[in-house]
Structures are given as structure tokens and as C-alpha cells.
Amino acid sequence: ATHTLLNAFKANKTAFGVWLTTGGIFHARTVAQASPHLSWVLIDCEHGLVPLVPGAAECVAAIHGAVPNGGPSALVRIPATGVSSSTSWQIKYALDAGARGVLVPMVSTVEKAKEIVSDCRFPPAGRRGFGSPFAHGNWGVTVPEYLTTANANICIMVQIENEEGVKNVEQIAAVDGIDVLFIGPYDLSISLGYAPPNPDPHPDVEKIIQKVLQAAHGASKKCAIFCSSGSQSAKRAKEGFDMINVTSDMGAMAEAISKNLAEAVQ
């Protein structure tokens, strides 16, 4: 089963990706085919317009079918803030869709981080339920193979994006099974009482961003950050971030229309 994001992690290469905020299989496929440099496409069911069911599953299938023998890993950001046992069904739907990883917003305690890991792992490692008729086919494996493949390869990513999350960041990073601390600079800024990044965060917020990066690497975990342009992403890659989105579908579309019109209208 192809897992380009995990391959980049294992090779210690920066994994660049794109944020998908609008659903639809042809839209998802076009994004996935846009560049051989893409390691991942994240389907945003938190703030995007993609419904978790069945929208995320359709997009995961479209992304994984887009590029023969390769292409980006499809990831899903679930809608829930934090996650408790009552919302862990969202992780189940995301993973049953065949996603190679799940991103959980606003994780701020060790307890939440541990619950998330348990929701992502089949027993005996965790409490994930089995039953999807789609997940194994999406990974190109049989059902018994999927149980072990999923447990070993699904990337578990949590967003550090509020004051409490920053306070507990070292302990969250140390939780066994958490693969990536993903910084949300917008929520982090407003949670700390600062304006959102424009395009860069306030210097005080930037100090905290660097602290999260160090905490992740200190625990031998990967660190990711949301960016809004290729040049901002290049800067973050030089700083040592492991996983970075270069743009979003909607951002890229508006930018391309504006650029082409500016060239046309003299």
C-alpha cells in the first residue's frame, strides 16, 4: 500500500501537502494529480465543506486512485474539537474511509492524546472497531493484512493550537503512538490573544511555535505547521518542520484566477 507521507517521514524528507476544503471526487483527483512533489492531501472535515460521511470516503478513494503506483497520502481532519469517547466515531469513519492518517483539532491534554491513539488502533493495541468493507481495498491489502497494516502505518496527528495544549506539549509529544504535533497558527494566535497570522504570526506566538517544534523533536516525533504559501513553507522547511501544506485548494484557485486576469488585463 502506498503511503507517501510515511515514506517521506522515514526518509527524513519534508513532506509537502495541500489542504482540501471542498469535496467532490474530481476536485480531489485534480488536486492529487497537480504535482509529483505532493506527499499528502488533507481532507478538511472541520472547517472545510467536506462532510465526513460519505464525502471524506469519496475524496480518499479519488486521491488514492489519482496517480498510478504512488501519489499523495489522503488524510482526514475530523470535525471534533478535542475528542472524547462520544466523538471517537469520527476517527472510525475517517479511518474506515481508508485514510492514511487522521488529524484531530485542539488536543490539549495527555488523556485526549491517549484516547485518540486508542481510537486509531485495533485491539489489543487500542479500541478501534472493525467492519469497514472499504478500508482494506483502499490500502490494497486483505482484511487480515489490513488489521496489522493499519495499526503499524496510520499516522496519528494532533493539533497543538491553544494555551493548554502548549502548556502540556512535552507530555503530549511523549504519548506513545502520537506521530505528529500539528501547529494551527491561526487558532494558536487567537487562543493566546493575538491577531491571526498575516501572513506571519506575531513574534510572541512565533516563540511558542518554535517551542512546539522543539518539544516534538525532543520526543523524536514529527512537527507540522499550516502555511499559506510556497515561500512561507520553504522558510518553515528550513527551520526543520517535517510536514507543511503549501496552499489550500481554494487559496490556489483564487490566486491562479487573479494572476491570470492580472496578466490579461493591461
In the complex, the residues that contact ligand 3PY under the rule CB under 6 A are 159, 161, 184-187, 226
Q: Which residue's CB is nearer to ligand 3PY, number 149 or number 159?
A: 159
Grid cell in block for residue 83: 475528542
* Pick 21 or 132: Cβ nearer ligand 3PY: 21
Task: Give yes or no: 47 in active site.
Answer: yes
**One-letter amino acid of 154:** I
Helices vs. strands in the chain: H and E counts, helices first: 13, 8
Q: Which of 47, 64, 202, 217 is catalytic?
A: 47
* Least distance between ligand 3PY and beta carbon 131 (Å): 30
Shortest Å distance, C-beta 78 to ligand 3PY: 12
Spatial CB neighbours of 100, under 8 Å, sequence gap ≥ 6? 3, 5, 6, 40, 73, 74, 75, 153, 154, 155
Cα Rg, the chain, nearest whole Å: 18
Which amino acid appears at position 247 of this protein?
T
Contact 56, 103 (CB under 8 A): no
Whose CA is closest to 119, among 87, 147, 166, 152? 87
User: Quick one: 175 or 225, whose CB is closer to ligand 3PY?
Assistant: 225
Least distance CB 227 / ligand 3PY (angstroms)? 9
Smaller CB separation from ligand 3PY, 55 or 185: 185
| Least distance (Å) between residue 7 CB and ligand 3PY | 24
Minimum distance of ligand 3PY from residue 132's CB (angstroms): 27
Residues 6+ apart with CB under 8 A from 24: 58, 59
Q: What are the DSSP E strand ranges found in the chain?
A: 15-20, 40-44, 73-77, 101-104, 155-160, 180-183, 222-225, 243-248
Residue 72 or 105 having the CB closest to ligand 3PY? 105
User: Under DSSP, is residue 5 helix (H, G, I), strand (E, B) or coil?
Assistant: helix
Residue whose beta carbon is closest to ligand 3PY: 184
Residues with catalytic roles:
47
